[in-house]
Amino acid sequence: MSDDLATWLTAQIDAAEARTRDLLAKTQRNDLAVKEPRLLGRYIPGWHDWPDVERVCTERLAELDAARRILDLHPNAGLRSAPESCGSCASYPGPCDTLRLLALPHAGQPGYRDEWRPQ
């Protein structure tokens, strides 16, 4: 069961990173498009939003990288039987609080189990 959470969470992080990188690429293309010399000086609705979207995407990618690094600290998927992973690994049977909390933002995705909710 605990291995399933780590595997599922890794898949969620992979999918979130792919979506974020796709949005970042679109954002950068749009930002370049509105800087086209023929468009300079003209009103383009939303043009000023692209740098903000780019910043949010960059922050999201950093958060996902941090989540991966935290997962890497759990070679045994946060099992209570392997309390060397992190301070909360030994909190109760099953995945530790750290992995449960990392998974929580993805709870709306298919495959999430209520038993993984932090206690």
Q: Can you give the binding site for Zn ion, defined by CB under 5 A?
A: 78, 85-86, 89, 96, 98
* Closer Cβ to Zn ion, 27 or 98, answer by number: 98
Least distance (Å) between residue 15 CB and Zn ion? 22
Which residue bears the tokens 């960059």?
58
* Closer Cβ to Zn ion, 57 or 89, answer by number: 89
Least distance (Å) between residue 87 CB and Zn ion? 7
In sequence order, what are the residues at sequence separation of 6 or more whose Cβ sits closer than 8 angstroms to the Cβ of residue 110?
none
Least distance (Å) between residue 88 CB and Zn ion? 5
